């Protein structure tokens, strides 16, 4: 990853409707924010963050949906090319887990992508709902 974030501690926070359109907008705004922080579109870091945001936002829409509730995206620049990604939804009783590998399964592999791209990731409970987070950066080894 050849991009350098020099604005350590800088945050981006936005709520989105819990729809496919909201998930798509979250991904687009995430890479736009990275570009504002000096991480160009199409760089390895930008592309990896886009995949992670897309997967976590899609999970928030599909599995964390509560009628009338939005989901939230938070990006935090960690400096030295690092980014913390958090996606929070309103449903707390279902914790994201890796799916069982099933022959012919077309869905359920998104968290495997997150695990492969992130240096670490996890789930944090909230008063209402949960936050799934991932940290990614140039100097970090992928894997949980």
Collapsing DSSP to helix, strand or coil, 73 comes out as: strand
Q: What is the pLDDT of residue 32?
A: 96
Q: What is the pLDDT of residue 103?
A: 43
In this prediction, residue 127 has a pLDDT band, given cuts at 50, 70 and 90, of confident
Contact 41, 29 (CB under 8 A): no
Q: What is the pLDDT of residues 21-51, one digit of tens each?
A: 999 999 999 999 999 998 999 999 999 999 9
Q: What's the pTM value of the predicted model, to 2 decimals?
A: 0.82
Q: What is the pLDDT of residues 83-104, one digit of tens each?
A: 999 999 988 765 555 444 444 4
94 HSE (CA, 13 A, CB side): 14
In this prediction, residue 9 has a pLDDT band, given cuts at 50, 70 and 90, of low
Mean pLDDT (the chain) is 83
Residue predicted with more confidence, 101 or 139: 139
Which tokens belong to 74?
């938070």
Q: Is the pLDDT of residue 138 over 50?
A: yes
Distances 97 to 15, 68, 108, 123 between C-alpha atoms, Å: 24, 25, 9, 10
Structural domains in the chain?
A: 11-137 (3.30.565.10)
Q: How far apart are CA 113 and CA 22, in angstroms?
A: 20
């Amino acid at each position: 990853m050849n991009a350098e974030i020099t604005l350590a501690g800088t945050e981006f926070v936005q709520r989105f409707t819990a729809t496919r359109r909201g998930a798509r907008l979250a991904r687009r705004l995430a890479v736009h924010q990275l570009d504002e922080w000096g991480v160009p579109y199409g760089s390895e870091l930008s592309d990896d963050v886009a995949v992670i945001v897309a997967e976590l936002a899609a999970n928030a829409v599909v599995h964390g949906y509560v009628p009338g509730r939005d989901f939230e995206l938070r990006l935090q620049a960690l400096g030295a090319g690092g980014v913390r990604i958090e996606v929070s939804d309103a449903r707390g009783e279902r914790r994201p887990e890796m799916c069982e590998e099933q022959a012919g399964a077309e869905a359920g592999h998104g968290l495997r992508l997150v695990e492969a791209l992130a240096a670490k990731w996890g789930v944090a409970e909230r008063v209402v709902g949960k936050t799934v987070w991932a940290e990614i950066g140039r100097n970090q080894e992928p894997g949980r």
